[in-house]
Chains A and B, each alone.
Chain A
C-alpha cells in the first residue's frame, strides 16, 4: 500500500494562493463572503500563512501553504467520537459527512487549524463530479451527494483523483496529482508515495533539508517543507 505524502518547496513558493483557489474549484469549497471572513467562518481546505521574523530592514517573511497535514498520529482521528474522521489504508485522513455529528471536537484538537465547520447551508448543487468512485461502495456516492451544513470539512488530498487514477492504471504523482499540486505555477508542490524510493518526493526529501510543522506534538505529518 502506498503512503501518500506531499513535499512543498519553500524556496519555490511565491505565496500566490493558487493552491487555495484550485482547491476551492476542485472540491466545491464555498468562497465565503466578507462577513464570513470577518467572523472567521469561511471554509478553507488549504490556506497560506505568512510568518515574519526580524525587524525592518532585516526582516524575513516565510510563506507557508498549508493543506491538511494528513498526520500519521492524527489527533482528530483520536478524538472523533463517531468514527467520522478516519485514516484510510493509504494514510489519507478523510471526513465522512454522513457520520459527522458536528461536535467540533476535531477542530479543537487539530494542531494545524486544518478543519473548518460548515455552518451555512451552501448553494444546493450536486457534487460536481457524480461519476467519482465512492469511498466504500456499499455506502453509495462519496461522501455525501451534496454539501451539507452542520458538519466539519477538511482537505482530502484529492483522494477522488487518486482513486480514479489507480483504477485506470495511471501513475499517481506524475500523471495524476491533487488539484493544488497541479495548479502550482512555480512547481513548489510535489505529490507522491513516500514509501516508494523511486518517487520524486523521496528523492527530494533525501536531497534537501526539510521540516514538518509542529513536530513537538508527535503527530507525524505527511506534508514536508523543503527549507530555503
Chain B
C-alpha cells in the first residue's frame, strides 16, 4: 500500500478565484432561497399541478451521483482492485459532499424547511409506511456511514475499511433504490409507477456517478499537475459503457411496458408532447446514444478527450433523465372522469423556468463544488506527486470546478 496522499496547497490565484466565484454563487443561491421562503413558493416554478420542480430533480440527481461514486470507491477497498486506489479517497469524499448537497436540495424544496427535523424522527413522529420517511433513514445513515468510512480510510485501518466498505456499498445501493421507490410506488402517476424504477435509479446512479468521478479525477489531476495513468480512465470507461447499455435496456423495458394500457396515454404524451425533447435529446441522445458511439468507437474510445466528452454527455444526459421523470410525471392531467375533461383540469401542467429557482438550483451545485474544493484543501484526498527530476514537489494549484456537475 505504498501510496501516500496529500492535500492541495490551495494558494494559487486560480484556487482563490474559483473559491470566491463558488462562494458568490452559493450566496446568491441562499438569498434566492430566503426570497422563496419569505415571499412564498410562488416565486418558484412549481405549482399544485407540478409540485416538484428543479430542487427535487437536483436532489435525486445528486443522490445518484453520490451513490454511484461510493459504490465505485469500493472497487478498491472491498474488491481489492489496486489500480483504482489513487482515486478511491476522492470518490468517498465526493459521495459525502453530494449526499449533503442532496439533503440541502430537499430542504430547499420543503414549504417549511424549518420543520425538516421531522423527517428524522424515525418511528416516533414519522409515518414509516411512507417511502419518504424510509428514505430519511437511508440518507441519514448513508451520510454517517460515508463519514465513518472516510475516517477509517484516513486512519488506514484496513480491516475496518473493508468492513465499512461492504456496509457502504450495500447501503448506497439501498439509498438509490429507495429514491427510485419514492417515485415507483406512486400508482396515481403513470410515468412514475413501475417496479423497475428502483433498479433503473440504481443503474442510473452508477452511470452518472462513474462519469462524474471520471471527470473529477481527470480535472483534479490535471489542475494539480499530478500524473494520471490514462489506462485507469480507459478501464473506467469500459465499465461505463456496459452500465450505459444496462441502463438503456432498463429504460427501454420501462417505456415499452408503459406503452401498454393503462399507462399508455401518459407515456405517449411524454414521448411526443412538449417535454419530449428532454427525453429524446437529453436522456436518449446525451446519456445513451452519443456516449455509446464514442465509447465503442475504435479511435475515440482510446482518446482521453473523447472519453471525457462522453462522460460530460452522460452527466448532462442523466440530469435530463431526472428532469424528464420528475416534471412530466406530474404534469400529465389526472384522468378524473371518463371522457375529455374540459378546461383547466384537463390540461397538462407547465413548468416555467423562473430566475429565483434557477439561481437557487445553481446555488446547490456551487455549494457542493465549494465543499469539494474546501475538502481538497483540508483533507488528504489526492495521491502525493512523486518527486520530479527537476527536484521537489511541483507547486500544487487550485482544484477545478469538478464538483459542480
A residues within 8 Å of B by Cβ? 36-37, 39-43, 47, 49-53, 61-62, 64, 66, 75, 77-83, 86, 99-105, 107-113, 115-121, 149-152, 213-214, 216-217
Contact = CB atoms under 8 A, between A and B. Distances in A.
Interface in B325-361: 330, 334-346, 349, 352
B186 A81 contact: no
B215 to A, nearest CB: 31
Q: Which 9 A-B pairs have the closest CB atoms?
A: A102-B111, A150-B111, A104-B51, A51-B339, A119-B41, A81-B132, A81-B133, A120-B40, A53-B339
A83 B338 contact: no
Contact of A217 (B42, B188, B339, B352): B188
Dominant secondary structure at the B interface:
loop
Contact of A52 (B51, B119, B342): B342
A117 B46 CA distance: 10
B338 A82 contact: no
Given A79-B131, A83-B126, A216 B342 contact: no
22 contacts: A40-B344, A49-B336, A49-B342, A49-B343, A78-B130, A81-B130, A82-B119, A99-B115, A100-B111, A101-B111, A101-B116, A103-B132, A105-B132, A105-B182, A108-B52, A108-B192, A109-B186, A119-B41, A151-B111, A214-B336, A217-B187, A217-B188
Contacts, number: 174
Contacts of B330: 107-108
Interface string B103-115: 0001001111001
Contact of B130 (A43, A64, A79): A79
Size class of the contact patch on chain B: 35 or more
Given A81-B130, A99-B125, A108-B189, 6 more contacts: A52-B340, A64-B337, A78-B129, A112-B334, A117-B46, A216-B262
B110 to A, nearest CB: 5
Nearest to A102: B111
B127 A82 contact: yes
B176 to A, nearest CB: 18
Contacts of A47: 345
B340 A64 contact: no
Given A50-B342, A101-B112, A108-B52, A40 B47 contact: yes
Q: Which of B48, B126, B344 has the most CB of A within 10 A?
A: B48
A64 B47 contact: no
B42 A36 contact: yes
Interface in B117-140: 118-119, 125-127, 129-133, 136
A64 B338 CA distance: 11
B49 interface: yes
